[in-house]
Amino acid sequence: MKLLNKISLWFIGVVLLITPISMYIGLLNIKKAMDQAEINRMTAANDQAAVLLKAGNTDSQFTQGRPILIRKINAPLPENRVQIEESYKHTDENGKKECLIRVNSYYQIAGQNYQISSYDYVTKADEILSGMLHSIFWKMLLVILSLLLCARILSRYIFTPFRHTMKAIKHFSIKEKTPLRLQHTNTKEFRELNIFLEKMTDKAIEDYTSVKEFSENASHELQTPLAVLRSKMELLTETRIDASQAGLIEEMYKAIDKLSLINRSLLFLTKLENHEFDTSELLDFRISCQEVLHTYEERTALKKLQVTTVFPDQVPLKIHPVLAEILLSNLFSNAIRHNNENGHIKISLTRDRLIMQNTGTPPAIPTEELFMRFKKGDQCNSGIGLGLSIVKQICQLHHFTVTYTYNKGWHTLSIYFNKHSENKEALPEKQEEDLHIPAAVS
């Protein structure tokens, strides 16, 4: 929901909450003011009647045709000379219950005590409320319509700089190393936001460049001593060595190869994190699966594995060809490495997901931890613990969801594709890029 819509809903909610309270308070004040005005009028009428009596006029001359009573009393005058009575009575005209207010005033005129009473029916509170509800309804309708109209105007003019900022951020690419420069605005909050974003993106470009240069330099510098070690090892093998020395040299060769593989894999992960494999082309993922599966036929035959595949006619995905090959190579390699002799591999591919299952022993650690770097289900195997980490990184790059479970002797790794898998556009020719990438790792 848009920010202005949320603000509008909150404002309307506050108005709807406050309006009944304010209406009740207003009703009490209006009723009180009307009653007091009527009381003041009747008190003044009583005073006027008393003045006429003092002047010698008869009471009938003043009371005729008026709601006022004048009578003599023999009792002493009360301490409170003006008394107010309020009651509800049924009128003869319409039979409805009306509010009757009576004002009793006491005077002493020519040595005689008098009670002068004025009375009248006043408007009830529910009648006032009925009129207020009618006016409040139109007032609320006007407020809501005005608010919605103002929100649209605010969205078009006041939030224009914010929309420009969001559009610039969406098109910003850290790989292009182009500084983010945002539109100037007179709104203080938007101006502070733009300044912060410009500083943040400038720092991100600087950090990206530094990390990229460091990873490339580190990889290059490590390759040189590794190559020297290999050449020295080859020279050492040409000299006279016994069986124990040959075993040590073989272990050293394996350690050097493993170190070289770790170096290439970490460099590849860095490239993935830096989004250096973006693509806008569609790839037939089914063909990639068949090609990688064909590459591993010899390894499956050596371990006497039975492979079962279910492939559709076509699975178009927006993924870089190199990343697709590395993703599948790591999955197939893991399924073979961690399988039993004479085991099984089942591969099911649809437009929505890829599911790979293989038999094998239970992992030594929780399956969700196997996606972490240098985490292995079997610490004694020859893998380096980066294969599934690369798989997860590739899936995150393409907004795929990857899960790994183990149940009743079967390892199941599932990859669920996004909506790009439903795209039916024509597939372009596969184009390989000259990139230095690692082979399948585990």
Predicted pLDDT of residue 429: 41
Q: Is 196 exposed, middle or buried (0-12, 13-18, 19+ CB in 10 A)?
A: exposed
Q: What is the mean pLDDT of residues 287-312?
A: 87
Tell me the average pLDDT of the chain: 76
Q: What is the mean pLDDT of residues 358-376?
A: 71
Higher local confidence (pLDDT), 307 or 88: 307
pLDDT, tens digit, 9 for 90 and up, residues 196-253: 988 988 888 888 777 777 766 666 667 777 777 777 777 777 777 777 777 777 777 7
Lowest mean pLDDT, pick from 123-137, 265-279, 330-344, 398-412 = 265-279
Confidence of residue 95 (pLDDT cuts 50, 70, 90): low
DSSP string, 255-309: HHHHHHHHHHHHHHHHHHHTT-------EEHHHHHHHHHHHTHHHHHHTT-EEEE
Q: What is the mean pLDDT of residues 357-371?
A: 77
Predicted pLDDT of residue 344: 92
Q: What is the mean pLDDT of residues 410-434?
A: 57
Single-letter amino acid code for the residue at 377: G
Quote the Cα angle for 348-349-352, to 5°. 125
Q: pTM for this one? A: 0.44
Task: Supply φ then ψ for residue 101, to 5 degrees.
Answer: -115, 130
Question: Hey, what are 102's tokens?
Answer: 């009576």
Task: Supply φ then ψ for residue 162, to 5 degrees.
Answer: -65, -40
Q: What is the mean pLDDT of residues 80-85?
A: 87
Q: Is the pLDDT of residue 145 over 80?
A: yes
pLDDT, tens digit, 9 for 90 and up, residues 156-211: 777 788 888 888 888 887 777 788 888 888 888 888 888 998 898 888 888 877 77
Predicted pLDDT of residue 45: 86
Predicted pLDDT of residue 60: 62
